[in-house]
Amino acid sequence: MKPNIVLINCDDLGYGDLGCYGSKVNKTPTIDKLADDGMKFTNFYMSSSVCSPSRASMLTGCYPKRIGFYNFEGWWVLFPGQRYGLNPEEKTIAKVLKEKGYNTMHIGKWHCGDQEPFLPTRHGFDHYYGLPFSNDMGRQVGVKEILPPLPLLKDEEVIQAQPDQSSLTERYVEKAVSFIRENKEHPFFLYLAHMHVHLPHYVPERFYQQSDNGEYGAAVETIDWATEVITHELQRLGLEENTLVIFTSDNGSRALDEGGSNLPLRGRKTTSWEGGFRVPCIMKWPNQIPKGKICDEMATSMDLYPTLTNLVGGKMPDKKIDGLDIKDLMFGKNKSIRNEFFYYCDEYLEAVRMGKWKLHIKKDGKAFKALYNLEEDIGEETNVYDEYPDIVEKLSKRIDLCIEDLGDGKILGSNCRAVGKVDKPKPLTTYDPNHPYIIAMYDKNQRG
């Protein structure tokens, strides 16, 4: 019997934001229990430290550079009405699962293109409900860029503009529960991508009142509540035993001054320090994934694609991907087959990890030389570049091979594919002064 798959992807949730990853200020009992009942990964990476490349990469099993998803007219992420998006010729994991008879739904943040050919319903999802990009990309007070109203989509139709963000998670959970109930006798793939904890924070009053970490903690606890509702529904319907739940985040926390934490890692979102790329990841599948297991082996979001494809007997794409099948690792039967990982920021290759060693070569387009032993120095505090020239040389050779393959800056890689593009893009919404918006202008000017 094919397992149901629930993939929960948070927005900007840091490595140190959950109780089971060391937080002393955020209350996350449901997610902590998920870790107790499943496997917690401590060396799990997203392939970008910002959201559009990270999400497209997870869905396709490819480094963002391979699919042209790294720079959009000077922006690191997609903005409303841009001409770019995930190329329709790319085969997402949703398309793979759809081919194997799964019913599929995406709820929440998409951020892989808002033009018609790039929407979730064109990439393997039967249904979509959510924001097509970040929650700070609507009309906000005091923000320099004048953006169109924030659209809430149902499939491909805008059903509301400028929604009350404090109620969105509850609406997402309602849709998730409905989808699970409708498919209780049919294999399903639910991809729930939270708006939290991306700035600005709009949280339900209940969680704000009980938070010990302000609005940020309330946003984290809202995620925990949503996870509890979904796991409770799976149990209630008798689906828990045959459902694989994967919980992770699209990149590290940016809001370190507002309560976020990537500790004990260094850095934040947008950087190639560990705090930008290494994220929480928990997987639970009763009687399949070992209970209470901590996995210190290296794995990435790109690995989900071939792992899930092979798990359900799906067909891999005929194009090159970068993910590896970690099924045996997930089931506790083997060590990781991934020994290296490359850190791209925008179009630049900034670092590589091989085993315990991480070599930095660039920061913000400028040369930067640093070597760290991540097993002994997870916080990247002690630069041992001059002490291990043989290690530097070995990792530098891997860097050179990666640049040949994927490119670096203006150097084009030999195995890269084109980003999707339309000729006449247009935003999904336009501001109408006569429209009865529930919130015509968001009252916070924070940007994520």
Question: Is 416 one of the catalytic residues?
Answer: no
Q: Could you give the CA distance from residue 73 to residue 225 in angstroms, rounded to a whole number?
A: 38
Q: Choose the catalytic residue: 10, 62, 106, 111.
A: 111
Number of H helices and E strands in the chain, helices first, is 10, 20
Burial zone of 367 (CB within 10 Å; 0-12 exposed, 13-18 middle, 19+ buried): exposed
Please count the other Cβ atoms lying within 10 Å of the Cβ belonging to residue 393.
10
Q: Quick one: which of 187, 184, 318 has its CA closest to 238?
A: 184
Please count the other Cβ atoms lying within 10 Å of the Cβ belonging to residue 103.
18
Which region, left, alpha or beta, applies to residue 319 given φ > 0 means left and ψ of -120 to 50 means alpha?
Answer: beta
Cα-Cα-Cα-Cα dihedral sign, residues 227, 231, 237, 239? positive
Please count the other Cβ atoms lying within 10 Å of the Cβ belonging to residue 403.
18
Q: Could you give the CA distance from residue 131 to residue 110 in angstroms, rounded to a whole number?
A: 7
Question: Is 111 one of the catalytic residues?
Answer: yes
Q: Which amino acid is at 324?
A: L
Q: Which residues of 188-225 are buried (b: 16+ CB within 10 A; e: fewer)?
A: bbbbbbbbbbbbbbbbbeebbeebebebbbbbbbbbbb
The tokens of 74 are what?
A: 């000077």
Q: Which amino acid is at 128?
A: Y
Q: Which amino acid is at 445?
A: N
The tokens of 282 are what?
A: 């928990």
DSSP 70-113: S-BTTBSS--TT-SEE--TTS--HHHHHHHTT-EEEEEE---S-
CA distances from 126 to 169, 287, 433 (A): 21, 29, 34
Q: Choose the catalytic residue: 51, 112, 281, 402.
A: 51
Place of tokens 């060590």: 335
The tokens of 19 are what?
A: 């109780």
Q: Quick one: which of 117, 243, 241, 115 has its CA closest to 179?
A: 243
Q: Catalytic residue numbers?
A: 51, 111
